[in-house]
Amino acid sequence: MGILFLVSTLSAQAQQEFSPGSLEKGILLVASPSLSDPNFHQTVLLIIEHGRGGTVGLILNRATNVLVSEVLPDFTALKRTTHRLFAGGPVEQTQLVLLFRLTQLLPDTRQIVDRIYVGTPRVLERIMTQPKSTETFRAFSGFAGWAPGQLEHEMLEGAWGVLPSNAFNIFDEDPATLWPDSISRLQAPRTISIAR
């Protein structure tokens, strides 16, 4: 008669969710519940740049009470709209970063992942004056930035998890539920193996 051992193991996918090797442009970075830094407590970020020079991301779930029309008062197309400004991160908080969902690459844009771009106010003017139901935007004040190797080190300490960019429709997901929903998705499925 054998002895049963119950072993909990992380699936390969779950191991990747917490691996610094899974960092790349376009992924979603999810703050661990134990991350106490007030700049990143309960945040979800979209990584918009990752390479030898470091990492740049935008916090997706910190809407402010400021309307984008107040920040860009010369854009008449924004008048009477309810688009809110998001706090993108603690770096360069006076800088405006525009994130777009577009059906195609346009001049003055840089692709992050499929259908998601960073662009200029000229792009914003185009999608406000010639709207398409599939296109939208979010405006961010500031961004998050890490020096080369810094974010990888934080991941090894358990500060962050990673989800693919298609885990959520980031423009339609409620910012208030994005972090708890992301944490739920990171609850790695456990498998039980029995050895005799």
In this predicted model, what pLDDT tens digit does every residue of 143-180 receive, in sequence order?
999 999 999 999 999 899 999 988 888 999 999 999 99
Q: What is the DSSP letter of 89?
A: -
The full set of domains in the chain, from first to last, is 24-182 (3.40.1740.10)
What local confidence, expressed as pLDDT, does residue 102 receive? 94
Q: Give dist(CA 85, CA 65) in Å, integer.
A: 7
Please report, rounded to a whole number, the percentage of residues in the chain having pLDDT higher than 90: 64
**Model confidence pLDDT, tens digit, residues 55-88:** 999 999 999 999 999 999 988 889 889 999 999 9
Q: How many CB atoms lie within 10 A of CB 105?
A: 11
Confidence category of residue 12, pLDDT binned at 50, 70, 90: very low
∠ CA 137-138-140 to the nearest 5 degrees?
145
**Model confidence pLDDT, tens digit, residues 89-133:** 999 999 999 999 998 888 999 999 999 999 999 999 888 888 888
Q: Give dist(CA 46, CA 65) in Å, integer.
A: 21
0.75 cut: is pTM over it?
yes
Q: Give dist(CA 104, CA 59) in Å, integer.
A: 24
Q: Give dist(CA 123, CA 141) in Å, integer.
A: 17
User: Which residues is 192 bridged to in the sheet?
Assistant: 8
Q: Give dist(CA 133, CA 93) in Å, integer.
A: 30
